[in-house]
Amino acid sequence: MSVEALQCKECGQSYPLEALYVCDRCFGPLEVAYDFSSLEPESARRRIQAGPASIWRYADFLPFEQRPKTALDAGVTPLVRADRLAERLGVREVWVKNDAANPTHSFKDRVVTIALAKARELGYEVVACASTGNLANAVAAHAAAAGIESFVFVPADLEEQKILGTGVYGTHLVAVRGTYDDVNRLCTELADTRDWAFVNVNVRPYYSQGSKTLAFEVAEQLGFELPDRIVVPVASGSLFTKIARGFEEWLEVGLLEGELPVFNGAQAAGCAPVAEAFAHGRDVCKPVRPDTIAKSLAIGDPADGPYALDLARRTGGSVEAVSDDEIREGIRLLAETSGIFTETAGGVTTAVLRKLADGGAISSDERVVLVITGEGLKTLDAVRGTFAVHEVEPVAESFEEAFGAAGVSA
């Protein structure tokens, strides 16, 4: 296998493959390091195509010596060609990577599959997380399927649908009075005193590897080709940067040819520390207090914000912000043109795609991939009151009268 060690992203110091997440020399974040020099591209491609219909088809690029057994598998979600959306926006091709088709209806199933497998390998008997909702759903479900005790920490004002979709699995659900950044701070403290695997704290270097599989799938589903541009939501910035890392690894091995796509990040204006830094040509230096309907993106102090900024700049992309009204319009635009109902994070990415197209940033011959990370049923309040319901009597005359008056033709 190709996995070698943990390595500091800042100073390059190496560490053993244990539950470590920060460099004790420079306090930089740790990530998994691989050696792909022995991977031959054609044999790797054959193993991928013969592999299971899950993220484990990419086992050569994941942090395990042997493929672990997992109770719930994730991945191989649809890449949908959205011709009506492309036509509406004036773009040659738009493809929607619909990761709501995972077991708990978000991309978080990918990262949790990896994190729980690593936690079990390292001997942990309890898993935990800080979450804005989707991760809570995934940790609770995967832990239940694996028979592992779990603790899930969320902001107390989280959407009711995500609370219900977490507690049903029998987890210890802890609602914290504060923002996600307050929740994350609490979990970081507890990680120092509890012998638990916090999937996005002390197991974070492994957890984040699950996000790479989105890049692998997009490339494979496009016939082992790269898109020209990809639009991705930005919360901590990890998903954004790890998708790029996935493309880079396949370019390194020789499974892909070309250059990285243009990367556009998408944030809600009510919590846009990375977008604001990009707009003003500076670094992410000041946490913000979230105020947006896109709660799954409401991270005011993004851990990977500086790396997300660098990625957007070096690929000729950007990180853009859109208002709550634009988010609602984005949800509806995607639903009306593709039949995909996304949560608020997908409304953010769709609205940013529209903003880029309207502003002339996308050329008419581009192939664009739009990443949808969660299911619309998780954030129903966001679309409440955005459409009309016509109430009629159970007779044809009443129907004709209502729709005639509304000017709607049969």
Q: Tell the residue number behind the tokens 């109902």, with chain if given.
A: 341
Dihedrals phi, psi of 287, to nearest 5 degrees: -60, 150
Whole-number Å distance between alpha carbons of 268 and 279: 14
Please classify residue 109 by burial: count the beta carbons closer than 10 Å to its beta carbon, then call 0-12 exposed, 13-18 middle and 19+ buried.
Answer: buried
Two tokens, residue 363: 């050329």
Instruction: Specify the pTM.
Output: 0.94
User: 126, 198 in Cβ contact below 8 A?
Assistant: no
pLDDT in the model for residue 52 = 96
Instruction: Tell me the longest C-alpha to C-alpha distance in the chain.
Output: 78
What is the DSSP code string of 271-313?
B-HHHHHHHTTS---S-----SS-GGG--SS-TTHHHHHHHHH
Whole-number Å distance between alpha carbons of 54 and 109: 11
The residue type of 307 is Y
Whole-number Å distance between alpha carbons of 323 and 275: 12
pLDDT in the model for residue 285 = 80
Q: Tell the residue number behind the tokens 């609370």, with chain if given.
A: 163
Read off the pLDDT of residues 262-297 as tens digits, 9 standing for 90 and up. 999 999 999 999 999 999 999 998 889 999 999 999
Q: Tell the residue number behind the tokens 């004709």, with chain if given.
A: 400
Residue 386 or residue 321, greater confidence? 321
Is the pLDDT at 220 greater than 60? The verdict is yes
pLDDT in the model for residue 7 = 97
Provide CB contacts within 8 A for 364, sequence distance 6+: 90, 91, 92
**What is the DSSP pairing of strand 14-15 with strand 3-8?**
antiparallel
Whole-number Cα distances in Å, 43 to 14, 40, 60, 335: 29, 6, 11, 40
Read off the pLDDT of residues 357-368 as tens digits, 9 standing for 90 and up. 999 999 989 999
pLDDT in the model for residue 171 = 98
Two tokens, residue 24: 């004790």
pLDDT band for position 405 (cuts 50, 70, 90): low
Q: Tell the residue number behind the tokens 């990262």, with chain if given.
A: 111
**What is the DSSP pairing of strand 262-268 with strand 30-34?**
unpaired
pLDDT band for position 407 (cuts 50, 70, 90): low
Whole-number Å distance between alpha carbons of 263 and 209: 19
- Rg, the chain, Cα only: 21
Is the pLDDT at 247 greater than 50? The verdict is yes
pLDDT in the model for residue 47 = 97
Report DSSP state, residue 261: P
User: 220, 209 in Cβ contact below 8 A?
Assistant: no
pLDDT in the model for residue 404 = 79
Element (H, E) at 117: helix 108-121
Please classify residue 40 by burial: count the beta carbons closer than 10 Å to its beta carbon, then call 0-12 exposed, 13-18 middle and 19+ buried.
Answer: exposed
Provide CB contacts within 8 A for 333, sequence distance 6+: 85, 88, 350, 351, 354
Average pLDDT on 99-114 reads 97
Mean per-residue pLDDT of the chain: 95
Read off the pLDDT of residues 23-59 as tens digits, 9 standing for 90 and up. 999 999 999 999 999 999 999 999 999 999 999 999 9
Is the pLDDT at 78 greater than 80? The verdict is yes
pLDDT band for position 410 (cuts 50, 70, 90): very low
Is the pLDDT at 234 greater than 60? The verdict is yes
Average pLDDT on 61-71 reads 92
User: 88, 23 in Cβ contact below 8 A?
Assistant: no
Read off the pLDDT of residues 9-25 as tens digits, 9 standing for 90 and up. 999 999 999 999 999 99
Q: Give CATH for domain 79-105+210-383.
A: 3.40.50.1100
